[in-house]
Chain A
Amino acid sequence: MPVKSYLAHPHEGKKSELLSALSEIECCEVIPAENKDVIVLVTDTANEIEENILKEKLEAIESIKLFSMVSGFDTQN
């Protein structure tokens, strides 16, 4: 049951687009920076299958330039 956090960097001028794409994904919480082109993304999935589905969804977003994972927690609760 992983919880992970990432920094999501949009392509130039695509921050709003990226924010809206990420916000639409059910297991994602997003926290946009006020003054920089970067978005904190926290993902919360139930198992590895969900995690893989999420990964595919994220990779399909065109406005993403780069994802960098910052932390990952695997919890049974």
Chain B
Amino acid sequence: MCITPTNRRIFIKKMAAAAAMTAAATMFPGIVFASEQEANLSSGSDLDWKKGPCRFCGVGCGILVGVDKGKAVAVKGDPNSSVNKGLLCVKGYHQTMCIQAKDRLTHALVKKNGRYVETPISEALDIVANKMKETIEKHGKDSVAMYTSGQSTIPEGYVASKLMKGAIGTNNLDCNARLCMASAVTGFLTTFGADEPMGCYEDIDYADYFITWGNNMAEMHPVLFSRMLEEKNRRGAKIIDFATRTTRSSSASDKSILFEPQTDLAVANAICYEIINKGWVNKSFVEKHCNFSKGLTNIGYGLEDKFKFTDKPEKIDFEAYKKFLEEYTPEKVAKYSGVSVKDIKYLAAIYGDPNKKVVSYWCMGMNQHTRGTWMNNLVYNIHLLTGKISQPGNGPFSLTGQPSACGTAREVGTFTHKLPKGVVTNEKHRRLAAKIWKVPYERIPAKPTYHATEMFRAVDRGDIKFIWTQVTNPLVSLPKTSRYRPAMEKDSCFVVVSDVFPTPTSDVADVILPASWHIEKSGLYGNSERRTQHWDKMVEGPGETTPDAWMTIEVAKRMGFGDLFPYSEENHVEEIYNEYRQFHEGAKHGMAPLDVLKKQSGAIWPYVDGKSTQWRFNAKYDPACSNGEEFHFYGKPDGKAIIWQRPFEPAPEAPDDEYPFWLNTGRVIEHWHTGSMTRRIPVLHKAMPSAYVEFHPEDAKILSIVNGENVKVTSRRGSCILPASINERGLPTQGQVFVPFFDENMMINDVTLDAFCPISKEPDYKKCAVKVEKA
């Protein structure tokens, strides 16, 4: 692109503004600049503003992209979106700046004699289809796999599921959402029998208290956090931060309570103990709407290959549950959780006060946990015992990290065990899928195969001989990459990577497919509050970039499944969505028609009689409630939610003499996940150019480590060298270090442990043991 002096000056001014906004974002949690892009535009600009959802996190902010002469030149928050009401975070504003990155993948690359050769896309898709077909013929259908994403659009996820499960007939499909919210899914399913939050973001406008469980919302969900701060300032709502590390969220909250890693299980039980002990149980709600159950204990950590676990739920009564909680008195729990008796009682009193509305928010802290399902169950217990659920301002709310972790991974079902409606183990669900897909019912296997971690273990073992990854970067994001990188480099597996930019994952590919970015294609995402959002293609992509859905369809056709994929290139998004909607017909999960989604900034399912359902399971708002009561948890056959007896169990690996520190990993506000997009946005990269390891000042002093000094972090799996950060962005507790994972040059996931929750199979990135030394 030729840059004229005037354009260059405008660009420099935009960079200067962006630098200042990024600096402000790191200083003030939740800060938003609604009119940034318009302020930078000259008055003569005549932009065509096109609506869509943001490309990044699961909040699903509405954006308006200003297009001028076929180029995206500006982004602003959509004032008509009830999610963000015109606001955006620093990543949201600058998202389109990555499109023009110099190293953009614009053509297919095929590895020939150890070198990548630019290849026409049609030829590359021939190679992929032939290789997939040949592998199936030689080694069987379970030798091929697809690994997709919570960033895949709904049509992309749908055609991947249809190809693998309906056409080929293998359940070897999983996605990176397994790494971020699988525990939320199993939590919802075990407690309510229906996935996804019952409330919506409008809860923020009504709640008196926001309790964040291991959740740094100021950096991870800044727009929602800014809405919470607004309520704090406007009407005195309180924010309580319950975490293992002091963050920007802690400093902006009314109270910060720190706990020892893994002991959130015990504290949640202690809160329930206190609620019962103080007589704060909402008895009529519990009697009418809840059952009590317990499951197996000492359930393992999934550290060994081919680990299997099936829970055995058993009904108990309230008295048995009450007796179980005697092990979790505030006094007993305070001894090992690091949380004072006073603070446990303080939290319990907030939940127990019938006159206060409380929303609990969580994301990775609770989900990336070897007892993630249990932790989700325990927070639901608190809300169920007090009846604070499914009402405006009252409810548990699990946030998601990716823009369509809900819409695609969970609703379309790009997990090994899932179908667009229901699960592969259910005959009725398989029959419905077979009918809509027009495939023989017998072709859809009834048994799940590989969840994410086990899928890459299978690559390492040589069981999977072909893998196609789309919209994800597993060789930065998986735990224990020290095992899975060499696994993907093995000749035993043919690797296809579809992406927008080169990544450490595409570095090991045999074929790299150039994907269209977000606004270069049409699509649909589903955010954390069950909101489905549509956007039309806004600009042309460079070179031979192609939407992932269309590449999947082209491969399916080349494999001989053309009759199952009769979509047209220009209209495939609409055709696929209309087919997909059939799966969810009815009052419990009806999806809005596409013409509605084209007109407005999304709609929340269940979409019934032209209306979104904001609070599920509450008869006042949810037309699917049919038991004649105020509440109806219709996901369970008897309409009752389950209060689960779940104990505290220790982490699989804890600090010891040899590895004396906890390692916690996570994200920063400037970068989104593995940084493949945000590190190509100059201002964000400049603001946070590399990862670091955070220390508590006392630990740094003992180790004589100074700020910025290189430190080697080592676990039993691997090591990583990073500069020390002492009391800067975040402050870990003594005995803990924290490292963000966005930096592919400082691979902290070489160090992490691939232990997972035996129920959800979601890995725990928040807890393993490391030693630290000067590098």
Contacts and interface: CB of A to CB of B under 8 A. Distances in A.
Same complex: yes
Interface of A: 3-7, 29-36, 38, 40-42, 44, 70-73, 75, 77
B60 to A, nearest CB: 19
Contacts of B27: 7, 38
B5 to A, nearest CB: 4
A32 B31 CA distance: 10
A7 B33 contact: no
26 contacts: A3-B16, A5-B16, A7-B24, A29-B39, A29-B40, A30-B39, A31-B35, A33-B24, A33-B28, A33-B32, A33-B33, A34-B34, A35-B30, A35-B31, A35-B229, A35-B230, A36-B31, A38-B24, A38-B27, A40-B20, A42-B13, A44-B9, A44-B13, A75-B8, A77-B5, A77-B8
Nearest to A1: B9
A71 B15 contact: yes
Interface residues of B, number: 28
A36 B28 CA distance: 8
A41 B23 CA distance: 12
A49 B31 CA distance: 34
B16 A31 contact: no
B13 A38 contact: no
B23 A70 contact: yes
Nearest to A29: B39
A7 B21 CA distance: 8
Contact of A42 (B20, B23, B30): B20
Q: Interface on chain A toward B: helix, strand, loop, or mixed SS?
A: strand
A56 to B, nearest CB: 21
Nearest to A77: B5
Interface string B27-59: 110111111100110000000000000000000
The 4 closest A-B pairs by CB, nearest first: A5-B16, A77-B5, A5-B20, A71-B19
B12 A3 contact: yes
A73 B12 contact: yes
Contacts of B5: 77
A60 to B, nearest CB: 22
B95 interface: no
Interface string B84-114: 0001000000000000000000000000000
Contact of A35 (B32, B35, B36): B32
Contacts of B40: 29, 31
Contact of A34 (B8, B17, B33, B39): B33
B226 interface: yes
Nearest to B9: A77
B27 to A, nearest CB: 8
Contacts of A5: 16-17, 19-20
A28 to B, nearest CB: 11
Contacts of A75: 8-9, 12
Nearest to B88: A34
Contact of A71 (B20, B34, B35): B20
Contact of B36 (A6, A31, A70, A72): A31
A70 B33 contact: no
Contacts of A29: 13, 17, 39-40
Given A30-B39, A31-B33, A35-B30, A42 B16 contact: yes
A42 B31 CA distance: 18
Nearest to B5: A77
**Among A32, A36, A73, A77, residue most surrounded by chain B Cβ atoms (within 10 Å):** A36
Contacts of B20: 5-7, 31, 40-42, 70-71
